[in-house]
Structure 1
């Protein structure tokens, strides 16, 4: 039975083109995505584990159509603007992410901004130790829409609201880079965060037709049955979340996570193309030089 691994039909031809030199890889765009977690309202013991917020990308999308994913998106150049900031310093994030300070700020800013744009959840507060409550009013929605339209930068939004970005509410989890043969490529940092008290998610994204809170194990089971379509980094991170009993446990584990980038490699072995993601054998594909993957 086939699982739910997202595998575009044009990949074999693009892999062959990359191998023979007729395809030049495009540079990946920096991006950030957030695995937003919450603990279920239950007294069940032992803990059933946290829920993760996922959205299903519309089938009309050019990239990963119909696949389940987390809120996230590309870095906006203005994410490097001077911004009201709390939590670990930019220098700390630079060291953690392995990039320059300005880039580190932009990645963290993109993670917080995209979570607000796509899920309506804002990891920011009036002070360095507080978080805003309900963000569902009309005035909040107007600001969110302005962010999506790029009429307002995130720094300007925080200034207008008198808020500071709470970088301490994020935990860097992993980093994946879209394969070189893809026409749209992203260098994506994955973060974990807990849903702030008083806030609630909503389907605020024009790119999604469904959102769901689901236990990682349940989502992984849906993928294994072929019921939920996902890209490799999504199902890989879901499996990594399964052992944690609470959102706090997952966040506490983040500082020790390895952020070495995962990048798929294609090679010619015994007359077939082998597509592999280092450290993630379950995604390996064997593609006959003139056929479809096995």
Structure 2
């Protein structure tokens, strides 16, 4: 069975969903970005953060940068270069508005959590250094929502580079969870000259790691990961370079684990295409 044993506390929610007495909370649109680089010695590496233990959602989990869509991410006047929102909508089977929100959230959240900025002065250039007090002040302003992504980019004279992103996956948090996200996964190369930093207050550790090594650590129980993170890393382990990943043809399918009662016990049943990447319980 493609399932993970769940704590007994989920039994009531699962049964409630099955008999129609439990109403799942709506899933919020969110974006996650797997930032990748080619290392001279270790090869392809991905950037991961470990969420602090006090977080309400997935405490202690290793994750990629990302987060929920902000209402202002859908601003159609944001400076934009690369595939239009409609093209992203076709990839993720989303409306043009939602697609714009997702791409903008991907760029904003990645900068907020790592100082990696997928934007440049022109449509064919990218910021080469985000170190310094000014950039940190901009990051804090985005975090406290005193400035929007558009306001930040306009003040800096930058345009968002949607062409630096590629669509990768689409996961929805199980209906049994109290916090749910409808998350689109992107991949992107680490921009030349920039450095990913441990700047997020939501993380207590960051790591550049080979996807295969990260997946092995999760399978061995050394690192805690949610199924979407582990499945993504296991998929990326099949590629040798960032260029290979960015050139991959992806058919995006919606993946949503389901809660089920099996032999009287609560289980999370994973989508078949991802189940072999995760240790069974």
SS of aligned partner of 2:39: coil
* Matching of residue 68 in structure 1 with residue 62 in structure 2: yes
- Answer yes or no: is the 8 Å Cα contact 2:171–2:228 preserved in 1: yes
Deviation at 1:100?
Answer: 1.1
**2:5 & 2:240 partners in 1: Cα distance?**
28
CA 1:137–1:101 in structure 2 vs 1: closer, same or farther (change >3 Å)? same
The match for 2:52 is 58
SS of aligned partner of 2:194: coil
CA 1:9–1:233 in structure 2 vs 1: closer, same or farther (change >3 Å)? farther
CA 1:128–1:6 in structure 2 vs 1: closer, same or farther (change >3 Å)? farther
The match for 1:11 is 10
The match for 2:130 is 135
Aligned residues: 275
The match for 2:270 is 277
Q: What is the TM-score normalised by the length of structure 1? A: 0.89
Deviation at 1:25?
Answer: 0.5
1:98 is matched with which residue: 93, 96, 114? 93
**1:79 & 1:6 partners in 2: Cα distance?**
37
Deviation at 1:271?
Answer: 4.4
Compare 263-272 and 116-125 and name the one that shifted more: 263-272
**1:125 & 1:23 partners in 2: Cα distance?**
47
* Matching of residue 223 in structure 1 with residue 222 in structure 2: no
The match for 1:258 is 251
CA 1:134–1:101 in structure 2 vs 1: closer, same or farther (change >3 Å)? same
CA 1:171–1:6 in structure 2 vs 1: closer, same or farther (change >3 Å)? farther
The match for 1:288 is none
SS of aligned partner of 2:207: strand
SS of aligned partner of 1:10: helix
CA 1:6–1:50 in structure 2 vs 1: closer, same or farther (change >3 Å)? farther
- Answer yes or no: is the 8 Å Cα contact 2:175–2:259 preserved in 1: no
**1:248 & 1:6 partners in 2: Cα distance?**
38
Deviation at 1:98?
Answer: 1.0
CA 1:9–1:213 in structure 2 vs 1: closer, same or farther (change >3 Å)? farther
**1:8 & 1:246 partners in 2: Cα distance?**
39
**1:7 & 1:175 partners in 2: Cα distance?**
23
**1:231 & 1:77 partners in 2: Cα distance?**
26
CA 1:193–1:6 in structure 2 vs 1: closer, same or farther (change >3 Å)? farther
The match for 1:45 is none
Deviation at 1:91?
Answer: 1.8
* Matching of residue 179 in structure 1 with residue 174 in structure 2: yes
- Answer yes or no: is the 8 Å Cα contact 2:14–2:261 preserved in 1: no
| Structure 1 unaligned spans of 5+ | 43-47, 286-293
Give runs of aligned pairs for residues 1-294 of structure 1, distance below 5 A: 10-42=9-41, 48-81=42-75, 82-253=77-248, 256-269=249-262, 271-279=264-272, 280-282=274-276, 283=278, 294=281
- Answer yes or no: is the 8 Å Cα contact 1:6–1:67 preserved in 2: no
**1:205 & 1:10 partners in 2: Cα distance?**
31
- Answer yes or no: is the 8 Å Cα contact 1:79–1:109 preserved in 2: yes
Q: What is the TM-score normalised by the length of structure 2? A: 0.93
SS of aligned partner of 2:31: strand
**2:279 & 2:208 partners in 1: Cα distance?**
29
Compare 156-165 and 270-279 and name the one that shifted more: 270-279
- Answer yes or no: is the 8 Å Cα contact 1:49–1:242 preserved in 2: no
| Structure 2 unaligned spans of 5+ | none
